[in-house]
Amino acid sequence: MDDSWYPAVKALHIIFMVTFFAGTFYIVRLFIYHKEALAKWEPDRTILTRQFQVMERKLWYFITWPSLVLMFLFGLWMFAMHPALIKEPWMHAKLGFVSLLLAYHFKNQAIFQKARDNEIPWTSFRLRLWNEGATIVLISVVFLAVLKRLDWKYGAIGLLVLGLVLGLAINVYRKRRISDVDSGKPSS
């Protein structure tokens, strides 16, 4: 196969990875706002939830899903051009994270389907924690793809530290938000 196309295929794979992650990050934010809108009084509740349902549907079906499919197709094309990549240990780890990402995506699909009926089962705090799952996968995949090597010890320590920092940041935000609500300040 002609290698001259490889850089263009790789660039397209990266572009659709970026748009997929943008959609993935934003859809969970919309779920959070949608969940919080369900606690509002009428008519705000109905107005907001209808708007979030429209935004969620457009984002999910016009950006996130198409980006996932195109990212996947360009990734397969890269494998077709360089099948030896599948023998690399770093690629095995990357594909493991991609598998987690697919599971994450399908769980978001389930949340999306419930959100269409205003039945988001998770709290906004749990959704905020959930949103960071994609962050951890993104960071892992980028490091593996750029470094092209696998060092389990440093990788595990890095992910643990990242997870702790993200968890602490969400907890600080939660406490600040509760404090703002208690003091009568508008929440952010």
> Residues 20, 67: contact at Cβ < 8 Å?
yes
**pLDDT given at position 183:** 60
Map out the domains of the chain as residue ranges: 3-150
- As a residue count, the chain comes to 188
67 C-beta neighbours (distance < 10 Å), count = 20
Give the pTM: 0.84
**pLDDT given at position 165:** 79
Vertex 137: Cα angle to 147 and 98 (nearest 5):
85
pLDDT in tens, 22-67: 999 999 999 999 999 999 999 999 999 999 999 999 999 999 999 9
Distance separating alpha carbons of residues 140 and 157, to the nearest angstrom:
12
**pLDDT given at position 186:** 59
> Residues 16, 67: contact at Cβ < 8 Å?
yes
pLDDT in tens, 139-150: 889 988 888 877
